[in-house]
């Protein structure tokens, strides 16, 4: 039996994670839809819930032409995966496909292709093309290729386009990334926080690593794995960290310490980490969630203009490498469950409880 209260909440939040679990019909319009349907929300008294499309059709309802509830998520997923492969291979050849080519290949109108692609992949085809090129660039740089060769073999038409975005995409220049951070100076310190040991690391551009762990050694190994050739200066303390390290880092540490103690609710610290365009969009919104408040994954997806990209939002939260500064702990499931957290649910629970104690 369906829990109609939870079903209605999912419809209100356009929760794509509930697609396929139930369908809702609107008796005044005579259509039935997926929970994530972007159409205008109906009145509650006009809504009926069904476990399968056949049940809705027996009541005389027809499938919605916007969300197409008869099309399986797996079929659309397979189709978009094939399209992603085509975009990647074309990008590496320096011949990026036009939207018209993609539409013919998928058998969809431009509007429908953009909407389905964003819902399944979490970004537009154009953004995916750029992300694919940067991923190829990182792989070519890791192979030891020259920066110029790596740029052109990754499908970029000019090096200027790459350098315009490296601060956001790589967190360092292509040459620095190719060398695993060689020549890059990173200062770090780990200390005990209210929810366990925290390591904070930064370059001269901003924070590049803020993560929880069980020990200083574990966190340092994780940092060195991220930047294997960088010059890392690490210190450890069990007490309140004193500013015995470069000036920018001591300001970051002090701000984080006060934030975790409830003395500085708002954080505005520079971040220098690699990210896709979609991750940047999600992380930027997370930083706007007020201290002490939470949002559901579906609410975040809707806020960034991609209501069907709930799973992609969850993946972006899991990819966060600067805990607390990008507050992914403030995102929970629509039903109130905490959901996931890469540093453990107990820490997530502790962070939220700490913020609740200091409104």
**CB 343 within 8 Å of CB 321:** no
Q: Is 33 part of the annotated catalytic residue set?
A: yes
**CB 289 within 8 Å of CB 324:** no
Catalytic residue among 64, 103, 317, 328: 328
> CA–CA separation, 340 vs 329, rounded Å?
9
> CA–CA separation, 312 vs 331, rounded Å?
13
CB-count exposure of residue 271 (10 Å: 0-12, 13-18, 19+): buried
Q: Is 328 part of the annotated catalytic residue set?
A: yes
Catalytic residue among 33, 37, 208, 317: 33
Two tokens, residue 207? 């924070």
Phi-psi region of 176 (alpha: psi -120 to 50; beta: other; left: phi over 0): alpha
> CA–CA separation, 221 vs 127, rounded Å?
33
Q: What is the largest CA-CA distance in the chain?
A: 73
> CA–CA separation, 354 vs 350, rounded Å?
6
**CB 171 within 8 Å of CB 223:** no
User: Residues near 192 by Cβ (< 8 Å), separated by ≥ 6?
Assistant: 198, 238
> CA–CA separation, 176 vs 172, rounded Å?
6
Active site residues: 33, 328
């Amino acid at each position: 039996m369906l829990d109609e209260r939870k079903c209605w909440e999912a419809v209100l939040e356009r929760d794509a994670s509930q697609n396929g679990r139930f369908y809702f019909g609107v008796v005044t319009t005579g259509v039935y839809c997926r929970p994530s349907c972007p159409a205008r929300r109906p009145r509650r008294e006009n809504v009926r819930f069904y476990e399968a499309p056949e049940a809705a059709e027996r009541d005389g309802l027809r499938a919605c032409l916007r969300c197409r509830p008869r099309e399986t998520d797996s079929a659309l997923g397979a189709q978009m995966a094939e399209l992603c492969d085509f975009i990647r291979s074309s990008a590496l050849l320096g011949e990026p496909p036009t939207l018209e080519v993609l539409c013919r290949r998928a058998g969809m109108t431009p509007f429908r292709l953009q909407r389905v692609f964003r819902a399944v992949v979490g970004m537009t085809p154009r953004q995916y093309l750029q992300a694919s090129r940067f991923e190829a660039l990182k792989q070519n740089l890791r192979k030891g290729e020259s920066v110029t060769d790596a740029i052109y073999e990754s499908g970029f038409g000019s090096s200027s386009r790459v350098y315009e975005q490296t601060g956001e995409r790589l967190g360092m220049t292509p040459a620095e990334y190719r060398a695993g951070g060689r020549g890059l100076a990173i200062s770090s310190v780990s200390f005990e926080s209210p929810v366990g040991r925290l390591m904070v690391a930064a370059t001269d551009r901003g924070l590049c690593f803020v993560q929880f762990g069980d020990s200083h050694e574990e966190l340092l190994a994780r940092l060195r794995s991220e930047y294997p050739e960088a010059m890392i200066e690490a210190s450890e303390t069990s007490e309140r960290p004193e500013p015995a390290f470069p000036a920018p880092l001591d300001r970051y540490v002090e701000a984080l310490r006060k934030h975790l103690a409830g003395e500085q609710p708002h954080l505005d610290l520079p971040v220098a980490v690699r990210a896709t365009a979609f991750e940047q969009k999600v992380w930027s919104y997370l930083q706007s969630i007020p201290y002490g408040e939470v949002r559901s994954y579906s609410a975040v997806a809707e806020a960034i203009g991609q209501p069907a990209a709930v799973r992609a939002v969850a993946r972006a939260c899991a990819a966060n490498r600067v805990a607390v500064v990008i507050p992914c702990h403030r995102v929970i499931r629509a039903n109130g469950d905490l959901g996931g957290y890469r540093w453990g649910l107990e820490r997530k629970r502790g962070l939220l409880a700490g913020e609740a104690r200091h409104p």
